[in-house]
Structure 1
Amino acid sequence: MSLSPPDIAETADPGPVVFDAELRPHRSLSMRGFRLLMGAVIAVSAIAGGAVYVAGAWPVIGFMGADILLIYWAFRASYRAAKRCERLRLTPAWLTIQRIDPRGRGRTEALRPHWLRVELDDPAGPSSPLLLWSHGRATPVGSFLPPTERERLAASLRAALGRLRFEPIR
């Protein structure tokens, strides 16, 4: 069962936070590295463009400029996608999943933890989804994570759910 955010806010105190995780896509190239890479690409293209111009094939320079723009656009799109975020927060009353898209728009889902089942292929492959099942409906989480991270998240979430289910609520 999924509830909208206003319904979550109207519930009684959900209790202490048992599990809290913020998931973000990994980007191995820092912004400084991106600037250095773009500088190197521009320098190589300028040198090659100068040689091509001297050789008399000046129309090729336009394609080299298009290559630079395409590389820049691809990296900017990758960095924009890296702004995506998912936050999982487990309390005795709810597991809330807050998703923030690259444009900053948020969406929240809430699932009852006592009906929740965590499912992931063993071993997890590159396309194996981490699914949270509740009331016959699957909710994928961490789709941008590598398989090892999804396995760790699944194990941590299962452990937290186990503690929640078998420890008395205070």
Structure 2
Amino acid sequence: MPIDISGPQPDGPPSAESGGAGGSVRVFFDAILHPHRSLGRNGFRVLMAVVVAMNLIVAGIFVAHGAWPVVPFCGLDVLALWLAFRVSYRSARQYERVRLTDTALTVQRVHWKRPERRWSFHPYWLRITHNEPADHDRRGAAGQVTLSSHGQSVGVGSFLSPDERSTFARALGDALRSWRRPPCPPAPAG
């Protein structure tokens, strides 16, 4: 599942987690966003078994006709397919975590090739912008959810489908409205 969202129930109080100093932090929203992978591990194993079986049949036909030098090349497509899926599954280890607590909205981005990045916003000043292009099929026209405050902004969920981005933006907007309902924490001075 590409989105795991947790937070308060619609009419319930925000969930509480224990803080480091014995206090508790109210969590209004906690979502972990993962890139979608259409083929799971078992599907990959089945696909590879079918490709290997087909390659063995083709190699057998070539050997039967005396073209045995072709046989090593039959394994190259299996190797290329395996490598492509390995890269795809490695990139699936990336995720983004968006968390709204009493004091901050934090975005944590973990990517398999780059160092972890974090952004922190005060929820009082936070603005959520959700842009979706009119034509989802246009190349290069990916929609995004942008979180902005005080000149700092970050896009989240760029790898989600348009419907998943809409669901995420709506859920985060609802949580932010819940955070702003009295008694909300005071706005920072300045």
TM above 0.5:
yes
SS of the aligned residue for 1:18 comes to strand
> Is the contact made by 2:132 and 2:144 (CA closer than 8 Å) also made in structure 1?
no
CA deviation after TM superposition for structure 1 residue 118, in Å: 0.9
Query: Which residue in the other structure is 1:65 paired with?
Result: 75
**Which of 72, 76, 81 in structure 1 is aligned with 2:91?**
81
Percent identity between the two aligned chains: 43
Equivalent residues of 2:147, 2:153 under 8 A apart: yes
How many residue pairs get matched? 160
Is the Cα–Cα contact under 8 Å of residues 109 and 118 in structure 2 kept in the other structure? yes
- RCO comparison, higher one (Cα < 8 Å, 6+): 1
Match of 1:101 among 111, 118, 121: 111
Pair 1:146 & 2:146 matched = no
Following superposition, the deviation at residue 35 of structure 1 comes to 1.1
TM-score, normalising length: structure 1: 0.83
Alignment of 1:153-164 (within 5 A): 153-164=168-179
Structure 1 position 51, deviation (Å): 0.8
Match of 2:37, SS state, is coil
TM-score by length of 2: 0.75
Counterpart position of 1:111: 121
| Equivalence for 2:146 | 131
For the aligned residues, what is the CA RMSD? Answer: 2.5
- Structure 2 distance, partners of 1:130, 1:64, is 45
- The CA distance in 2 between the partners of 1:90 and 1:96, in whole Å, is 7
Task: Give the C-alpha shift of residue 14 in structure 1.
Answer: 8.5
How far the C-alpha of 1:166 sits from its partner, in A, is 2.5
Q: Give 1:17's match in structure 2, choosing from 11, 14, 27.
A: 27
Structure 1, unmatched stretches of 5+, are: 1-8
Aligned to 2:183: 168
User: C-alpha displacement at 1:111, in angstroms?
Assistant: 1.0
The reply on whether 1:55 has 2:65 as its aligned counterpart is yes
* 2:7 paired residue number: none
The residue aligned with 1:6 is: none
2: CA distance, partners of 1:145 / 1:122: 12
Contact 2:27/2:101 (CA < 8 Å) preserved in 1? yes
2:107 aligned counterpart, secondary structure: strand
Aligned twin of 2:13:
none
For structure 2, the 5+ residue unaligned runs are 1-18, 186-190
Secondary structure, counterpart of 1:76 in structure 2: helix
